[in-house]
Structures are given as structure tokens and as C-alpha cells.
Amino acid sequence: MHQPHTIAPRTPAYSTAGAILAVLAIASLLDIATAQALSQTDRAPSFAVRLFEVLDIYTSPVAFIAALAAAACWAAHAQRAFRAMFDATLVLSAVALLDNVVGLIMCLFDKQENPGFLLLSAALVYLENIAVFTAFYWRFDHPYQQRIVEGEGIHPGILFPQNTLDMESLRRWRPAFVDYLFLSFNTASTFGPTHPVPLRGVIQVGTMVQVAIAMAVLVMLAARAIGLIG
């Protein structure tokens, strides 16, 4: 895993890092809310569903605590510690997201006493999916964008349209928070990237995982709708 270059404090890139971390903290809170909603779906869940609920009980709060620790490192400009805590938060948030997706699907096979909470859980997982992968794309693309700005002749992790335009106003351009949020939202909504193109393998795999999660939520909603019709 390539470590990001140093980001100077009080620069747009450093502010972007803080915004990305805030989104990751929000993802942890969404995950906690999802776990609560899923627990209301079925008062007597199966053993498998209960197992995923227990995993989520521990993973989500730890991810949020890690996000708070990373925020303290960011505020103190302790960049090496920030990177370590950010990576820990991202891993924990990804595990919690996948846990919720599996738990959400498995709840379909249980008797649902409050099915409305199942739909609420699906909406929360959708938002969590966007938040986690916003951070994921930043984490694995930003180091390359930073090195390109510094003059290295390498290709980025994600090719944004701005990377290809020969315009004076875009010289030394690098993606900001909204660019990664835009990419993550479009990937989760249209089941694939639109204008930005993933170039590196880890980002391509991440895109496939995000699309698979979005598809799983869609299939769950379709199954629930068919159940209501039936």
C-alpha cells in the first residue's frame, strides 16, 4: 500500500482530507443506525442474522472511535498518525458496511415483524455505501494525484476529465472532496463510473465491490416489493 505524500497544513488538499474523514465518520454513524434499524425488523432473528448483528455491535463503534482519533491527529497536523488512523477507520467502516449488506439480505429470509425498518435499513446502507467509497477513492487516488502535481510522470488512480484537458486554469489541478463524492454517488446510482475512469487495479476492484453492494440493495428492495404485491 503506497503511503500518501505529505499534505501541507492549511492547503486545499489538507482541507479535503478533513472533509473525507468527516464523511467516513458519518458512515460509521449510519452503520450504527442501520444496525438499530435491522434489530427492529425482526424481534426473534435467526442465529445467522444475530451473528452479523453482534459483529456490527463491535465494529461500528470502534470505527467511529477510530474516526475521532484520526480527526484529533488531523487537527494536530500529525500526518503519519492521521494516515494510520484513517486507514484503520476505512477498513473498519468497510467491514461494517459489508456486514450490514449481508445482514440486510439475510433478514429477507426471516419473519419480519416490522418490514418498514427493512426499507429504512436499505436506505441507510445505500448512503453508507456512498460515504465509505468516497473515502476509498480518495485514499487510493490522492497519492498519485499529489505526485503528478509535484511533477512525476505517472498516471493517476482515477482519470478525471480535468486530468485530460489542456487548459491554463486546470494546470496543477487535483480532485477535491466533491469530485470523489460525485464519483461515489454516480457509481452507486448508475452501477458504474461515468466520466471519471478507474485506471489502477485496486480502484477497479473497489468499483466492482461498490456496484455489487448497490445491486444487492436494489435486489433486496425488488424482492420486498414483490413480497408486498404477493
DSSP class per residue in 38-64: HHHH-SS--HHHHHHHHHHHHHHHHHH
Measure the CA angle with vertex 133, ends 69 and 62; round to 5°: 30
What's 174's DSSP letter?
A: -
**Which residues does residue 197 pair with via DSSP β-bridges, in sequence order?**
159
How high is the pLDDT of residue 22?
95
* pTM of the predicted protein model: 0.88
**Which residues does residue 159 pair with via DSSP β-bridges, in sequence order?**
197
- Residue 226 — pLDDT band, cuts 50, 70, 90? low
Cβ atoms of 137 and 158 within 8 Å: the answer is: yes
Residue 69 has pLDDT above 90, yes or no: yes
Residue 1 has pLDDT above 50, yes or no: no
How high is the pLDDT of residue 205?
96
How high is the pLDDT of residue 3?
47
Residue 59 has pLDDT above 90, yes or no: no
Burial of 24 (0-12, 13-18, 19+ CB in 10 A): buried
Average pLDDT, the chain: 85
- pLDDT digits over 78-135, tens only? 989 999 999 999 999 999 999 888 888 877 776 666 667 778 888 899 999 999 999 9
- pLDDT digits over 165-222, tens only? 888 887 888 899 999 999 999 999 887 666 889 999 999 999 999 999 999 888 877 7
- Residue 228 — pLDDT band, cuts 50, 70, 90? low
Amino acid at residue number 35 = A
How many C-beta atoms surround the C-beta of residue 7 within 10 A? 19
Average pLDDT over residues 27-52: 78
Q: Which three cell numbers stand for residue 94?
A: 468497510
Amino acid at residue number 19 = A
Closest listed residue to residue 134, CA positions, set 12, 11, 4, 20: 20
Residue 5 has pLDDT above 60, yes or no: no
- Residue 37 — pLDDT band, cuts 50, 70, 90? confident
Q: Which residues contact 169 (CB under 8 A, 6 or more apart)?
A: none
How many C-beta atoms surround the C-beta of residue 4 within 10 A? 20
- Residue 25 — pLDDT band, cuts 50, 70, 90? very high
